[in-house]
Amino acid sequence: MSVSSPTHRTGAVVGVLAGAGITVSVMQTLVVPLIPDLPRLLHTSAANASWAITATLLSAAVATPVIGRLGDLYGKRRLLVVSTAMLIIGSIVCAPANTLTPMVIGRALQGFGMGVIPLGISIMRDVVPPERLGSAMAIMSSSLGVGGALGLPASAAVAEKADWHALFWGSGALGLIAAVLILWVVPESSVRAGGGFDVVGALGLSVGLLCLLLPVSKGGDWGWGSGTTLGLFAAAVVVLLLWGLWELRSSAPLVDLRTSARRPILMTNLASVVIGFAMYAMSLVTPQLLQLPVVTGYGLGQSMLEAGLWMAPAGLMMMVVSPFAARLSRARGPKVSLFTGAVVIACGYALGLALMDGVWGVLIFASVISAGVGLAYAAMPALIMSAAPVAEGAAANGLNSLMRSIGTSTASAVMGVVLAHMTTRLGPITVPSENGFRAGLAIGAGVALLAALVVLAIPGTVSGRGRAGVRPAAAPGVPAAVAEETAAG
Q: Are residues 25 and 114 in the same domain?
A: yes
Supply the pLDDT for residue 461. Answer: 57
How do residues 361-388 score in pLDDT, each as one tens digit? 999 999 999 999 989 988 888 888 777 7
Q: Would you say residue 3 lies in a domain?
A: no
Of residues 487 and 184, the one with the higher pLDDT is 184
On whether both 203 and 88 belong to a single domain, the answer is: no
Give the end of a domain, one of 221, 251, 281.
Answer: 251
In a domain, 5, yes or no: no
Of 375, 408, 147, the residue nearest 276 (C-alpha): 408
Q: Label residue 259 by pLDDT band (50, 70, 90).
A: confident
What is d(CA 193, CA 186) in angstroms, rounded to the nearest whole number? Answer: 20
Shared domain check, 166 and 22: yes
- Give mean pLDDT, residues 143-158: 77
Distance from C-alpha of 269 to C-alpha of 384, rounded to nearest angstrom:
8
Task: State the pLDDT confidence band at 462, using cuts at 50, 70 and 90.
Answer: low
Those residues whose C-beta lies under 8 Å from the C-beta of residue 143, and which sit 6 or more positions away, are 18, 19, 20, 21, 22, 25, 117, 319
Last residue of a domain, one of 251, 266, 282: 251
Do 189 and 101 belong to one domain?
yes
pLDDT number for residue 340: 95
Looking at the domain assignment, is residue 482 inside a domain? yes
Beta strands 423-426 and 429-432: pairing type?
antiparallel
Bridge partners (DSSP) of residue 423 are 432
CA distance from start to end of the chain: 22
242 and 307 housed in the same domain: no
Do 421 and 474 share a domain, yes or no?
A: yes
Amino acid present at 306: E
pLDDT tens-place string over residues 349-360 = 999 999 999 999
Is residue 210 domain-shared with residue 155, that is, in the same domain? no
Question: What pLDDT, in 10s, does the model give residues 160-180?
Answer: 778 889 989 999 999 999 999
Residue 23 in domain? yes
Same domain? For 184 and 104 the reply is: yes
Average pLDDT rounded to a whole number, residues 256-266: 85
285: confidence class by pLDDT, cuts 50, 70, 90: confident
For residue 157, is pLDDT > 70? yes
Q: Has residue 398 got a pLDDT over 70?
A: yes
Q: Residue 345: which domain range?
A: 10-197+252-488
What one-letter code names the amino acid at 223?
Answer: G
**Highest-confidence segment of 97-111, 185-199, 378-392:** 97-111
The number of distinct structural domains making up the chain is 2
332 domain residue, yes or no: yes
Rounded CA-CA distance 336/343 in Å is 11
pLDDT(35) > 80: no
CATH number of the domain within which 135 lies: 1.20.1250.20
With a cut of 50, say whether residue 1 has pLDDT above it. Answer: no
Torsion angle of the four alpha carbons 257, 457, 407, 146, in this order, in degrees rounded to the nearest 10? -110
**Cα 70 to Cα 83: distance, rounded to the nearest angstrom:** 11
Do 219 and 158 share a structural domain?
A: no
> Do both 329 and 413 map to the same domain?
yes
- Judge whether 216 lies within some domain: yes
Percent of the chain whose predicted confidence (pLDDT) is above 90: 31
> Average pLDDT over the chain, rounded to whole?
83
- Same domain as 218, residue 285: no
Mean pLDDT across 192-207? 86
Residue ending a domain, choose from 220, 251, 282: 251
Within-domain flag for 2: no
Between CA 87 and CA 119 the distance in angstroms is: 15
Q: Is residue 454 part of a domain?
A: yes
Asked which of 3-17, 138-152, 384-398, 418-432 is least confident by mean pLDDT, the reply is 3-17
User: Could you tell me if 187 and 120 lie in one domain?
Assistant: yes
